[in-house]
Structure 1
Amino acid sequence: MSGKNQHIVPHDEGWAVRGEGNSRATSVHDTQREAIEHGREIARNQGSELLIHGRDGRIRERDSHGNDPFPPKG
């Protein structure tokens, strides 16, 4: 995978998209759905993975957009 994995995480103002290793959010959205859509677009463009966190901060879903012909299953 070439790009940074994108994380969808809870934020004071709703939900944020944050690149792995970044301390600041790439973007902030009112709903988790909006954040997921934006994060998925970035992950697709970078050939990276989208990791969706729940309100408790734990990863609840992964979505791989890398070039791996055998991506990890759920």
Structure 2
Amino acid sequence: MPGQDIHVVPADDRWAVETEGGNGRETYDTQEEAVAAGTERAKLKQVELFIHGRDGKIRERNSFGNDPRDIPG
């Protein structure tokens, strides 16, 4: 379903994995745990994963879906 990208965001002293559109939120003790869980979810849904820093700004973005680039290898 388009528009269901996954975000790893700060959640007080923890980290959360959220799905766009408000369809679920899970919290984790560390950012590393949240990124691992978010990566798995993004791969399954074939969507993008956005990793936010403590300041809330996106610091990394990974695509697991329909990548429009046509680059061999």
TM-score category, normalised to shorter length? 0.7 to 0.9
Which residue of structure 2 lines up, in the alignment, with residue 60 of structure 1? 59
SS at match of 1:43: helix
Shift of 1:69: 4.5
Which residue number in structure 1 is paired with residue 21 of structure 2? 21
- TM-score norm. by structure 2 comes to 0.84
Give the secondary-structure state (helix, strand or coil) at the position aligned to 1:39: helix
Matched, 1:43 2:42: yes
Aligned partners of 2:66, 2:39: CA distance in 1, in Å?
A: 15
Q: Which has the larger radius of gyration?
A: 2
Say what the alpha-carbon RMSD is for the aligned residues.
2.1
**TM-score, length basis structure 1:** 0.83
The answer to whether the Cα contact below 8 Å between 2:3 and 2:20 also exists between their aligned partners in 1 is no
Residue 70 of structure 1 deviates from its aligned partner by: 1.2
Does 1:7 pair with 2:12?
Answer: no
Would you say the 8 A contact 1:13–1:29 is kept in 2?
Answer: no
